[in-house]
A and B are shown apart, each in its own frame.
Chain A
Amino acid sequence: MEYAIAIFVGIWISAAGLLAYYRINKDFKDLDTSKKDKEGDKR
């Protein structure tokens, strides 16, 4: 059961990190997309 606790908290933290990374990546990906659109318009 001690093993279960150690593994559970690791998964808990990593899952939160994954959620955070997904959000940040999405926000900045939208930014990259809009920048590329603007550069495309200029050409």
Chain B
Amino acid sequence: MNVFLIGMIISMIAYVIIGFIIGKGVKSTNDFFVAGRRAPTFLLVGSLVASYCGTGLYFGDAGESFAGIFSPLMMLGAMLIVGYVLGGVFFGRFLRRSECNTIPEFFGKRFNSIAVKRLAAVTQLVTIIVYLLSTIQGIGTLMALVTGLDYKLCIILALVTFSVLTVSSGSKGVLITDTIMFGIFTVVTVIVIIVCTAKGGGWFNIVEGLAQTDPEILSWAGDSEYLYPTGAQNMVWAFAYGIVWMSVCMVAPWQASRYLMAKNEHSVIRSSIWAAFFVFVLEFIVKCGAALLNHFKPELADQSHIIIWASTNLVPTALGVIMVTGILAAGISSATTFLSIIGTSVVNDFFNIKDDRKKLTTVRITVIAAAAIVMLLAYFNPPQVFWIMFLGATVVACSWLPVCIASIWSKRLTKTGAFLGMLFGFLGCGGMKIVASVAKLDLPVFLDPFFIGLAANLIGMLIGTLLTKVTPEEKEQREALFVIPECEKDIKEIKKTKKTVLASIALGAVVTGVLLVFWVVPYTSNL
């Protein structure tokens, strides 16, 4: 039993207790599914950021930045935040206006089609289970690495924690615990990176030093032996994946579904802008911080452990414990969101239960069943899981993105177009990913499965729309989306929302400023 294990166990117990306390106030499916549709801006921000940031950022992205492709990853990270800005305004607020419980339900209502609803639900479930499995693996790896406990025991502990939290309190609990976790991991990450760089003589001293000793680490091209052999290819990859992850932030269910819980559309828009800001902060501090840790030249068995190494070697123990529990929180917050969506979607989009109490009981049983299935898959790790993991989180973006945007902004898209678009996008992207992995294909960036899936989606939408006509019901549903509810017409709220959106224009200048001051200028002037 080491101090990191104690810290993790205390934090997990605290989250479970918070879940139980909040769970006492969950009386209906409205509370469980969408937190009573009363979530204020700050809870939405907390959940958006916490559901986005997970072990992938602290392990995968940090490791790759440390290994030598900081610049492409930073460009990708800065590009993707646009997904929040556009997602809130062009899609999210219409989700909220629909007053649906899930995004598949929104599609079903919009197109007056159970088939579209069910397909959206299936694609959502497959993607979320995949992402949940990889999140559990990340949490298990973190816990095993830091505590020395058996990996399988770690995944059981983590699974029990976030399952109990989700079962007891549903979306209400997930929103609140996500926000607490967001606060913890954001603040502690900033502090830890500051402390680490201070130990190396200060941020600017390290940047200037690396410019002279290992210039490729912070260079625009990145390490030519890591990803692609040329800087231009790395940049093309970064641009393409910036669009991919922008799409995820715009429409992925673990992001856009937060908007369903908002107290009003103004909260949707404002939270999306604030989420863009905080995600950039975390993207920059984790990625640039990890790259700067090259100053210490640590001996690492696996480069993805760089942040853990820093937390256990460079900072005071108490701070290291909080950092590690913060990374655990980043993983758990994502997992609770995934599990709550699974439970909500299965009951809401596949069953037709009228009695609310029975529905609430069923969703809790569903969450337990889903957790048990995922635990078995993660524990026994059959080979099929390995293949499923290749689908990844991005497949939902190319399956959903064009349909999400067109469902609001296109007068021509029909239910058949939406169905075929979603189906072709999912099969195109997912199929291509599996084929490329099995055949070990080295695809050029423009043939990345995401773009294949996106093209397939557009073709599907076109075929379906050309073959069918918009029905009066579909027309009515779309027109209803553009009727602004009376409660959203408060002049003070409108002015505040406009100011927040205006700030997103300034956010571009802020991002450029931060990159220039903390990376580009000190780096280039010392080459």
Interface residues of A (CB under 8 A from B): 1-21, 23-25, 27-28, 31
Contact = CB atoms under 8 A, between A and B. Distances in A.
Interface in B475-527: 484, 489, 494, 497-498, 501-509, 511-513, 515-516, 519-520, 523-524
Contact of A21 (B235, B484, B498): B498
A33 to B, nearest CB: 13
B25 to A, nearest CB: 33
B79 interface: yes
A19 B502 contact: no
A7 B372 CA distance: 48
Contacts, number: 105
Contact of A10 (B276, B503, B509): B509
Contacts of B219: 2
Interface of B: 71, 74-75, 78-79, 81-82, 85-86, 88-90, 218-221, 231, 235, 269, 276, 484, 489, 494, 497-498, 501-509, 511-513, 515-516, 519-520, 523-524
Given A5-B515, A16-B86, A28-B494, A11 B502 contact: no
Nearest to B89: A20
Contacts of B489: 31
B90 A23 contact: yes
A12 to B, nearest CB: 6
A17 B74 CA distance: 19
A23 B484 CA distance: 14
B504 A21 contact: yes
Contact of A6 (B85, B90, B504, B519): B519
B505 A5 contact: no
B516 A6 contact: yes
Given A14-B508, A16-B82, A5 B74 contact: yes
A17 B523 CA distance: 29
A21 B502 contact: yes
Nearest to A24: B501
B75 A21 contact: no
A37 to B, nearest CB: 14
A9 B498 contact: no
